[in-house]
A and B are shown apart, each in its own frame.
Chain A
């Protein structure tokens, strides 16, 4: 446990440059500055490692980096996505607070690989403590000659800046994030063109999640195979899981991919006293909910979770015990998407409000017999029809809650009150 992003966690001032370097930090970057590593070697190692994007979509990082037109004669950018806002997710905050240099080194390496001399870390506006930590780390790195122009006399340059959000979940979507970085409202762009061709300020840009970047230095220090071996087939390495909800010791755990869910549950102290597991959302609020039974049989890796009927997403494991009213929970999630829809595309703008209002009406005791079909119909009409995945993210919980816990909804509609809470 805690082998990569969290490996300094229990040391003194884990966030300091001193601690980071004492644990081998910046060794890869220094090798690069000495000319001992080529972009191709790095991409190969990343591909071998099986590292997949930790922001939710799980796209192989090595492959993504290989898409950048590194020889194009224009400014290129690397951008780190620290907008962490998916309900249930709180790992990037801890990486920024406790291991900011790993993000800096990961981004610098990315900059070298993709021939991008500038980077921005987009940190959500509420994360002020992590922001200051990151800014301090930047200062340390600049002072140590690890960032800047023509570093160590080489031809390698990398400047890195922190940018702050101002409260909008949608800015976690990579193209909304770019819009926001350009000082606009965070409305996702349609694709193509992809950021690798037209990204920040119209220039080629690669965006990765905080944890993805933070994983890169250790992968390169220890070799891609080392990382791949930690995990399982198709899911290399270890991953941070934020286990929250009805467990005794909610926390972030960096564990090998493929760990059985029940072991993870145990690490988090198990279900609260006197209660039993009812449901699990394994990857953050946008991923389908699973019944206890499906969850208990699941392993924590991309394929394992998919087999169970959901997605690994950002690794945010939300545990619900038998006291949970699923109607109430879904209503809360529906409110979230309704609240956070950027509003540009019709199905999401109109549909998220519709879903929320129907659920709210059911909660108010005014449910109608055909509301379940209506909800199913509306989510289906949003699904796949929008610019960004927020539309799908709003649809999937509705579909899965209704599929897995239909009787609770029927009960609520019929009796005007919760089957669980009365």
Chain B
């Protein structure tokens, strides 16, 4: 369920915490396992993480369902996390989200038929001076305009 490579990555996180506190690494472990499994988690993968970190399955499930950054159903290869909170909203995020939905042909929450992208509306990402903005993977894209969005989306492969 968890690859050797993933285990190594998880172990590196576990090493940051005191002995016996390996469950501190659960958030990263879930992310690592999610990344290896088409960007979403299943009961089995959550249980596997729990087992690996020697914690109750339900405790890992609590974490996996509490935080935003885990998916429990299939998502696209790229999730466009579009901020729609106040500063971005004041700077036109809503119109741009509508533009983006039109551009990719699916609504927020749905995945494009080719499985490439989906849009998710998220709360403030802490880049408000660059509003409006969104995040894809590790990368922030700020001061968005319709043109800029087109260019970014066209570049997704």
Contacts and interface: CB of A to CB of B under 8 A. Distances in A.
Interface in B97-125: 122-125
B88 to A, nearest CB: 9
A282 interface: no
Interface in A227-269: 242-246, 250-252
A333 to B, nearest CB: 6
A168 B68 contact: yes
Interface residues of B, number: 44
B123 A87 contact: yes
Contact of B89 (A164, A169, A281, A332): A332
Contacts of B16: 120, 161, 163
A316 to B, nearest CB: 7
Contact of A87 (B17, B87, B135): B87
A87 B27 contact: no
A19 B84 CA distance: 36
A259 to B, nearest CB: 18
A87 B124 contact: yes
B23 interface: yes
Given A88-B124, A92-B126, A164-B28, A245 B87 contact: yes
A167 B67 contact: yes
B145 to A, nearest CB: 15
B25 interface: yes
23 contacts: A75-B18, A87-B85, A87-B87, A88-B128, A89-B124, A90-B126, A125-B27, A129-B140, A161-B16, A165-B27, A166-B30, A168-B67, A169-B123, A182-B21, A183-B21, A183-B59, A184-B59, A242-B129, A245-B91, A250-B130, A285-B85, A324-B90, A332-B89
Given A92-B126, A165-B27, A250-B129, 19 more contacts: A75-B18, A85-B124, A87-B123, A88-B86, A90-B126, A120-B16, A126-B125, A163-B16, A164-B31, A168-B66, A169-B123, A180-B27, A182-B21, A183-B24, A184-B62, A244-B131, A245-B90, A285-B124, A336-B123
* The 3 nearest A-B residue pairs measured at CB: A167-B68, A166-B67, A185-B66
Interface of B: 16-18, 21, 23-28, 30-31, 53, 55, 59, 62-63, 66-70, 81, 84-87, 89-91, 122-131, 135, 138-140
